[in-house]
Structure 1
């Protein structure tokens, strides 16, 4: 099962959706703002992706900047980061593609193609 976690107003998410549709990929779209990932989901996805925890943080978002997370994140444990991200979908890097083959936050067509 393929899940596309996105935010409709995000231009990168719109590009990713268009790309998935062009590939003929079957997926379930999950709106990140309304259905924010849980800390457990984020931890599982990060483990499955093999990427550092920071790759799941939306470092370009307004909330990230207003909360001063650039300075706070380095001192936080992975569990604390996942707990924080679970409080608001706008803190989570998007889009995220979750498949049986793996997980990738952000949109890179070449990486996503490996997961389909």
Structure 2
């Protein structure tokens, strides 16, 4: 199984997730989420496969999220508008996002990784 890891190297959570994958010897390819963010189509697929609502893909603790006042603005947006916004700036996306093409995890929780990625 080879994973794709959308991550930002300066993100502490991303570093923990990558460390976990390396320690467990799980092969992965990484993609810099800011320099090369997932396209709207990729994001749509990731959201669908994750089973999570689109709003869970927003980096709510990020500076950009606060600057744009998204806490209140997201309430009025539909899914399509949210996907467009996420695709416009990798800093708005919660990270890391990890997928094997079928499963998707967002963020890093060791127990979730044990369940999903240690097969």
Establish whether TM, by shorter chain, passes 0.5.
Answer: yes
- Secondary structure of 1:63 counterpart: helix
Q: Is the 8 A contact 1:101 1:115 kept in 2?
A: no
CA distance in 2, matches of 1:56, 1:3: 16
Aligned to 1:57: 58
1:68 aligns with 2:65: no
Provide the C-alpha distance between the structure 2 equivalents of 1:101 and 1:37, rounded to a whole number of angstroms: 16
Any idea what SS the aligned residue of 1:107 has? coil
CA contact (8 A) 1:99 1:115 kept: no
Q: Could you say which residue in structure 2 is the equivalent of 1:107?
A: 108
Q: TM-score with structure 2 length normalisation?
A: 0.93
Residue 82 (structure 1) aligns with: 83
Q: How many residues align?
A: 116
Distance 1:14 1:76 in 2: 31
Contact 1:7 1:33 in 2 (8 A): yes
Structure 1 residue ranges (4+ consecutive) displaced by more than 3 angstroms after TM superposition: none
User: RMSD of the TM alignment (CA)?
Assistant: 1.0
Secondary structure of 2:88 counterpart:
coil
Which consecutive unaligned segments of at least 5 residues does structure 1 have? none
CA deviations over 1:66-103 (Å, ceiling 9, x no partner): 00001100110111000001111000000111113410
Shift of residue 37, structure 1, vs aligned partner: 1.1
**Tell me, what secondary structure is at the counterpart of 1:58?**
coil
Structure 1 length as normaliser, TM-score?
Answer: 0.95
